[in-house]
A and B are shown apart, each in its own frame.
Chain A
Amino acid sequence: MSTVNFDGIWKRYGTVEAVKNVDLTCPQGEMLALLGPSGCGKSSILKMVAGVEEVSEGEITFDGKPVSHLAPGVRNIAMVFEDYALYPHLTAEANIAFPLKVRGIPARAARERVEEVINLLALEEVRTQKVSGLSGGAQQRISIGRALVRDPELILFDEPLSHLDGDQKVQLRSEIKRLQQTAHLTSILVTHDQSEAIAMADRVAVMNDGELQQVGTPQDLYHTPANLLVANFIGEPPMNLLSMNLHQSGHGAQFIMDGLTLSFSNDPRMAGFVSCFDAASVIVGIRPEDIQVSFGQLEGSQKGSVSEIFTGRVDYVEPRGDSDVLTIVSDGNVVVVVETDGPTAFSRDDRLNLTVAPESLYFFSSTTQCALGRIS
């Protein structure tokens, strides 16, 4: 398998620019996810790697060798599709063996290779069954087997879990991850679902409107999103984003918007941190899981602590099993979403105290929408 490099890639369809100057690297043995909403350009990149679409400008290389002029067949790329694309009347084994058969691999070598793949994917039990009767999860494992069997340079996964139900999706994604890591498969995953990208990929490239927004490990994207778009896209439920005015004081700072004030009035770290901001308005991001909620009166000691506390009423409770997501309307009518360990006994119109720690906050520029850093 080889290292895949995208060097200043453009894709134009007439006047539409589907992919704009994307630089990316997928090192050998890694899985790179292309994540973004529909129309973000991720599928165009996939098609250009596979060779079914031409590159308008730029170059794709495998281990430094340009491939964009090569026909799809000679690139030695395998693909795993959303809808499996298996031959329904053939057995699992025959589906896996198919790519070797059409390439005229000698029967004995082919048998050995198919055997290896069946063992690797634990498909022994279903090998002689027709694929049409198997579960979606089993079918997708067979299609992965068919991709692996001919030792491709690169495996492309195109929304591989979209058609699966609940636990099958969860099981298969960890199987793919394990397989990818233990067999050191170089692979590119295209998905619109952040949880699939985070679960399977070593690094995730977030795309929007043809442009690469950020590439990093799942932890990077969660803890240090480069801009508002990434912040909005990574995390479920999504981050609260509040457009606020910054008031600096000697020992701290206040963030004020119509209906909500976050006051860190005695926090030198905060004072130091915001002193380099060059605008009075800033977008404050708070992840729902970083807000603590509690009932009851505020105590004096709590009020004086560095964490800011404000009050609001529960507007809506979404139970999710081991967590509850609360939509809370602050006393000044600002809507804030909170995720808390569940099941809880909170119900509509309960009054709650909300606490946020300064180091859990995210800050973005109101003008450029780029991240302004975090308090460490």
Chain B
Amino acid sequence: MPPKINAAFVEKVLIAFIRDELGRCGCAKALVGLSGGLDSSVCAALAARALGPENVLGLIMPYGRAFPEDVRDASALARKLGLRHETIDIAPQIDLYFAAHPTTSRVQRGNKMARERMSILYDFSVREEGLVLGTSNKSELLVGYGTVYGDMACAINPMGDLYKTQVREMAAHLRIPAAIRRKAPTAGLWPGQTDEGDIGLPYEELDLILFGLVEGHKSRREVVGAGHAAAAVDRVLRMIGRSGFKRALPPIAKLSVRSVGHDFLYPYDRGK
């Protein structure tokens, strides 16, 4: 695992960040898509502490009756935190779409569902006059394990600089129920899918490799020398390299002397 974090201090920083960002937009409320997994639970708990639970809306968006235990865990968490929450079944619109445009690809179906959930969150963002909080952690962002414009879409992301193993530390600190902390991490795109199966490494090892490469500025050779299998390090490097587009805004073809994204440069928090 990467070095332990001071979870109480991180909580303080992230609570201040959530309050600052919402305050700048004149928003009192936040929305979190609750999957019943670790990241969204930690994010919701932080938001509840930052804004008061009455100002956080948890949206639980299952596909029909798939993953009933996740829906149960998500609802139980929302009740424990005292959040307002709502369950919306996305099966009708997903089934309608794939009836017209069939596919056999599980990934394609899963991505479509992730984007449907994003679409609902953003619609509720307007209804609630609140901001959508992102739940993608640093491990996922670095290897690109997320659906672009799906679960990666958000107004602000309090979780994006915490490795998955550090999110686990935060979950213990924030007293997230054991049922959520103990389950195998999954993107939930299809039954039986697990993050670690897809990524091909347990998070403990993935995070250590990432920590060496990113924080440690170590070379491939040095990370392998530190005791990681060359195949694992190569796999991680490949995932980082291939997913760069998910971590950047799309390039704009430059034509003029001052262009958006190139040399028309203003802070995100400008005038807020």
**A and B associate:** no
Chain B contact residues, CB within 8 Å of chain A: none
